Amino acid sequence: MPLLPKDLQRFSIDGPHAAPQYIKATPAVVQLAEQLLDCFEFGVDDTYGMLQDSLEPICLSSQRHRLIKGLIHILEARLTFEADLPIDPIALREKLFTRAAEIRAEEFRKLTWREEILANTASELGIEVQAIENALYSDLKRERKITAFEPIEAEDLIAEYNLTLAKSLLLYAKKLTFTVEVGTDRPALRKLFQSLRFFNLLFEAQAITETVWQFSVDGPTAVLPQPQKYAASLASFLPSLYAFSAWHATSELEIDGQKYQWQLKPDDFAAPVMRFPHRLPEEAQMLEKRIEEAGKGWQVTHAYPLLQFDSQGVWIPDFSVRQSESARVAHVEVLGFWRADYLNRRLKLLKTAPKNLILVISDKLKLSEGQLENTGIQVVMFKRTPRFQDVLAAAEKCALEEAPDAPRS
């Protein structure tokens, strides 16, 4: 789902508070959404320019220009365009225009001069004339041909628009703090941790009670390297909260140099359908795969344990390894993306970490040996990609016996 550019975002400011201007599925709004959907559905097999022309009357007949353009922005992401043709349109135009310039003035009086140039060029290239016509201006957006549109109901489009408004406001977040009531459903809690890790978010978590957890997630305005990429990750994570019925969130925002607060609640708008991601970050995936392929007496386990550090702090590792001939287990966490200052905050927590935790740390974080002293855990450094041999050697040193079904949180 695309984020809305700044000129299409709609949010209100009330003193120190900010909030998206959500829309309701009123008859008028539903009718507007259906009109836009009709244009997109009938636009298949036409050019993008023709679709734009069909949308223009709707835009001109309404005063809600920003809303309409925002809905169109979302719908355009559901379009599929014709695949690039195996002809460079710029080189093709140059070839055709050069041949047209070589025609003598009297030959232009012939009505078929254009068809003759196209036919000769098509024969030379070994393609059909229509392929040349299709490719001639295929690099211009208005001339791109639409081949498919992913359908959506009007009410679902409205819900998606509201979610996109919320996601887009997170572009200005310094921090997102949310409290979730998970009850006794540990698998759901693990999935929430997995989602945070999947999107490479910088977060801290603590148990408020046995059934309520609080998370604090750094926002993109607090992240120095690649803030736009991080903003997209935080926005992509937001739907994960809607998998829970009881939660509340507060986001600290900074918009045009001014600070605001934004309160998020599960009933702000129709909840989207959420499917938790399961894939690990890339470096952890590669390491996990190499350990599995090596067959060195260790097996990767997918329990995704929640490791309790002190009375409140927790950490979820990327994966665990279990020795094939015993119940000895070590937990592996790959730190290749996180900022060094964030890790420094976590290092204090590591003093109470389980002794069978292995940190696999990128040299890019530029941590000194002194920062890693007195943690009591195994540390494996890497430059480009982690070596599975080093991780298994660390596992041999620190793995502890754990019952297969032992609780880990």
pLDDT digits (tens, 9 = 90+) for 222-250: 765 567 788 888 888 988 888 888 899 99
Asked if residue 395 lies in contact with residue 321, where contact means CB atoms within 8 angstroms, the answer is yes
- CA trace torsion 9, 164, 335, 343 (10° rounding): 50
The half-sphere exposure of 306 on its side-chain side, counting CA atoms within 13 A, is 22
Sheet holding 11-14, edge to edge: 11-14, 17-20, 258-264, 247-255, 173-181, 212-218, 203-207
> In this structure, are residues 99 and 121 in contact, taking their beta carbons and an 8 Å threshold?
yes
What average pLDDT score do residues 341-349 get?
A: 69
Enter the pTM of the model: 0.72
Measured CA to CA, the distance from residue 390 to residue 358 in angstroms comes to 10
Query: Using one digit for the tens of pLDDT, what is the confidence trace for 90-109?
Result: 777 787 888 777 776 666 66
- In this prediction, residues 253-272 reach a mean pLDDT of 87
Give the CATH architecture of domain 282-401: 3-Layer(aba) Sandwich (3.40)
Rounded CA gap, 284 and 281, in Å?
5
Structural tokens at position 79: 């379009």
Cα 323 to Cα 325: distance, rounded to the nearest angstrom? 6
- Provide the pLDDT for residue 247: 92
pLDDT tens-digit readout, 282-304:
778 888 888 888 877 888 887 66
Question: Do 359 and 346 form a contact (C-beta atoms < 8 A)?
Answer: no
**Cα dihedral sign, 136-137-143-144:** positive
Question: CA Rg, the chain, in Å?
Answer: 28
pLDDT value at 408 more than 60: no
Region at 183 (left for phi over 0; alpha for psi -120 to 50; beta for the rest): left
Q: Where are the domains of the chain?
A: 6-78+152-264, 89-137, 282-401
Q: Measured in whole angstroms, how far is the alpha carbon of residue 290 from the centre of its chain?
A: 26
Question: Would strands 258-264 and 314-315 be described as parallel, antiparallel, or unpaired?
Answer: unpaired
Say if CB 149 and CB 80 are below 8 A apart.
yes
